[in-house]
Structure 1
Amino acid sequence: MTEIALDTIDRRILAALQEDAHATMEQLSARVGLSPSPCARRVRQLEAAGVIRRYVAVLDQDKVGLPISVFASIKLERQREEELDRFAKAIMRWPEIVECYLMTGQRDYLLRIVVKDLPAYEAFLKRTLTRLEGVASIESSFALGQVKHAQGLPVGE
């Protein structure tokens, strides 16, 4: 991965967009201390370079009826490249899995799964993860509450 050289203005733009990607160019430019035209040019450059991958709406997990977060640690029978790739490809099919990380240590993957309730997680577990070929074990942990969930990255200024 190539790191892009970001200056102070770029970092201000990124921080501002992470807080409110719906801001107009006039609002954004005023916030970062540029006129609208150069600010828009910088935003386009950040988009073209892949620094800004996309714009999304951040939803309230509880208000959309998915209050349960489950963290599932997955251990595969073998850690060969083809098994890792097969698992990664398989889990892409299920929207309940909102995050997936390949890990070091005792487990191979850490998944964050969101569901409406415990029976929904049980059904998901039985019809998906337990049926995946090559899965040796699954350990589930239920989040009792969320202390911090940052939407943006600490890009600084």
Structure 2
Amino acid sequence: MVQRTSQSLVDLTSLVRKLSQGVVTLQELDATDRRILAALDEDPRVPIMVLAQKLHLARGTVQSRLERMTASGALRPNSSRVLPSALGRGVAAAVSAELDQSHLNEAIAALREIPEVLECHAPAGDTDLIIRVVAKSPDDLYRVSEEIRLCPGIVRTSTSMFLREVIPYRTTGLLKE
């Protein structure tokens, strides 16, 4: 019994350390966490009490798990995701950028200042950054692409305009693994 308790303590200590560092992965989320996340994926605005009733869990359990998952970064804080098209930005694109590596931080700082830049990733492969952007029109996309190209440290860009979204952002399938 003592060995089992001490192993549980080691596991808990490890999880707390990872939580404090914001490094919790899906493998560390248990079945109850996954059920909560799947239900939230179906209805992100469901009240906690209704969610608890639907999942046959105590309200306090749901509340504490949501707080833990938010603190760990597994669940993003509540936000209203506005569709860019509702803000007059119906054109979307991916801009691939090649960088002068000695100016990486300057380039990223400059990209943060461009409101049309929704997100930016550093992939493995031939390009240094992939930047998802939105614009009002193809002409406006040209302006946004030029603004990116003129950022310090960016040597070359290539823009691919999205014609339509064929698979929207989703995570539900991952929660069922």
TM-score with structure 2 setting the length:
0.76
Shift of 1:61: 3.5
**Unmatched 5+ stretches in structure 1:** none
Deviations along 1:31-70, one digit per CA (max 9) or x if unpaired, are 3221223222222222333322311223333333211111
Partner amino acid for 1:101?
H
Partner amino acid for 1:22?
R
**Unmatched 5+ stretches in structure 2:** 1-21
**Larger Rg, first or second structure (1 or 2):** 2
Secondary structure in structure 2 of the residue aligned to 1:147: coil
Aligned to 2:4: none
How far apart in 1 are the matches of 2:51 and 2:92?
A: 34
Correspondent of 1:3 among 24, 28, 52: 24
Secondary structure in structure 2 of the residue aligned to 1:106: coil
Which structure has more RCO (C-alpha within 8 Å, separation ≥ 6)? 1
Aligned to 1:138: 157
Deviations along 1:48-97, one digit per CA (max 9) or x if unpaired, are 33322311223333333211111111011x324xx222211211111201
Q: Report % sequence identity.
A: 25
Equivalent residues of 2:149, 2:155 under 8 A apart: no
Higher percent of residues as helix:
2
Q: How many residues matched?
A: 153
Equivalent residues of 2:93, 2:132 under 8 A apart: yes
Shift of 1:6: 1.4
Equivalent residues of 2:98, 2:156 under 8 A apart: yes
Partner amino acid for 2:56?
G
Secondary structure in structure 1 of the residue aligned to 2:157: strand
TM-score with structure 1 setting the length:
0.84
Matched, 1:60 2:80: no
RMSD value over aligned CA atoms? 2.1
How far apart in 2 are the matches of 1:72 and 1:49?
A: 30
How far apart in 2 are the matches of 1:60 and 1:133?
A: 29
Aligned to 1:129: 148
How far apart in 2 are the matches of 1:21 and 1:147?
A: 22
Correspondent of 2:48 among 6, 12, 25: 25
